[in-house]
Amino acid sequence: MAELLQFVSSGLTVGAIYALVALGFTLIYKASDIINFAQGEFVMLGGMTTVFMTLAGVPLPLAASIAIVATTAIGVALHRFAIEPARGASAVSLIMITIGASIFLRGTAQIVFDRRFHSLPPLLGADPIHFGGAAILPQSLVVLASATVIVTLLWLFIDRTLLGKAVLATAANRLAARLIGIDTRRIVEFSFAISAAIGAIAGILITPIALTSYDVGTLLALKGFAAAMLGGIGSALGAVVGGLLIGMIEAFAAGYLSSNYKDAVAFLIILVVLIFIPQGLFGRAKIERV
């Protein structure tokens, strides 16, 4: 029982991070049909910038804020200088551009920062909370609480604000959105900004638990991508559920099978899901129209 609880708590923590990455994928995909493989780099940039700011003596809250702003700016730049000029390119070309961007950001990070692993002090101290025989890190609670807040805010924003409705309209039908006067180009740019910010926050939150380095982005992006697919790409609810599920599956696989194969189990499950319910858990099956 204690073991189970332990796995659930660590699975949910990592899962929350995957969920945030998946949410970033979903936002950009909804607005533009682009799969942004540089999503994981946003997470890395958030963590690494914060680490190096604090090393330079900047207080943690300020360092974190600067990191979020800087990552958001990079997200906007990515859209303006790499995605926007390639408008109308094929899906594969666009995927390659974002992969190129991810390699570029990673390469730049290893020059600007370094190639070592770094950590941050946890927000609520490092003493584990004992609960039902399991030791739960306070930072886990911070991660879960923050993820909940972000998801709620995002939902409120989409549901309650005019800009949010414009994002929805763009997602539903780009041409129609443009016809009623929505600047869809700006909406896409905005989705890149928000995705980058969410990614950066995820990066800052997870660093005290999982460490960060210039190359953590790739695997995070893959897991986040997988989570988005598992949930049904384009579904925000699916992204969150998919992320949590993959986090849990991984934690249980690592605990009960072998920690070497925890990544394998995650990808194996994704293959199975894709084969049997290709539209994902919350996606809708497409009807082919001819």
Partner 1 sequence: MRKIIDMRLLPVLAITAIVVVLPYFFPSAYYYRIGALVLIFALAVVGLNLLMGFAGQVSLGHAGFLGIGAYSVAIGPGYFGAPSWLCLFVGAMLSGVVAFLVGRPILRLKGHYLAVATLGFGLLVAIVLTNEAGFTGGPDGMSVPKLVLFGWSARGADAWYWIAGATFIGGFLLALNLMQSPTGRALQAIHDSEIAALVLGVDVARKKLTIFTISAMYASVAGSYLALFNGHITPDVAGFLRSIELVAMVVLGGMGSIVGSLVGAVVLVVLPQALTVFHEYEQALLGLIVMVFMIFLRRGIVPSLATKFAGWRK
Partner 2 sequence: MTILEADRLSISFGGVRAIDGVSIAIESGQVFSIIGPNGSGKTTLFNLVSGIYTPNDGNVRLGGETVTGLTPDRLARRGLSRTFQNLQIFSRMSVLENVMVGRHRHEHTGILAELLHWPSVTRQNEATREAARMVLGRVGLAEAADRPAASLAYGALKRLEIARALASEPKLLLLDEPAAGCNAVETQEIDRVIRSIVKDGTTVVLVEHDMRLVMNISDRVHVLASGRTLAEGTPDEVRSNPAVIEAYLGVHGSQEAAHALD
Q: Which residues bind partner 1 (CB under 8 A)?
A: 35, 82, 85-86, 89-93, 95-97, 99-108, 110-111, 218, 222, 225-226, 229, 233, 258, 260-261, 263-264, 267-268, 270-271, 274-275, 278, 288, 290
Q: Residue for token digits 């189970």?
A: 4
Q: Which stretch binds partner 2 (CB under 8 A): 19-27, 86-94, 135-143, 282-290?
A: 282-290
Residue 181 interacts with partner 2 (CB under 8 A): yes or no: no
Residue 288 interacts with partner 2 (CB under 8 A): yes or no: yes
Which residue lies nearer to partner 1 by CB, 1 or 275? 275
From the list partner 1, partner 2, none, which binds 181 (C-beta under 5 to 8 Å, kind-based)? none
Residue 287 interacts with partner 2 (CB under 8 A): yes or no: yes
Rounded to the nearest whole angstrom, what is the least distance from the CB of residue 280 to partner 2 in the complex?
18
Residue 90 interacts with partner 2 (CB under 8 A): yes or no: no
Rounded to the nearest whole angstrom, what is the least distance from the CB of residue 212 to partner 1 in the complex?
17
Residue 290 interacts with partner 2 (CB under 8 A): yes or no: yes
From the list partner 2, partner 1, none, which binds 56 (C-beta under 5 to 8 Å, kind-based)? none
Residue 175 interacts with partner 2 (CB under 8 A): yes or no: no
> Cα(39)–Cα(239) distance, rounded to whole angstroms?
14
From the list partner 1, partner 2, none, which binds 287 (C-beta under 5 to 8 Å, kind-based)? partner 2
Rounded to the nearest whole angstrom, what is the least distance from the CB of residue 65 to partner 2 in the complex?
46
- Interacting residue ranges for partner 2, rule: CB under 8 A: 287-288, 290
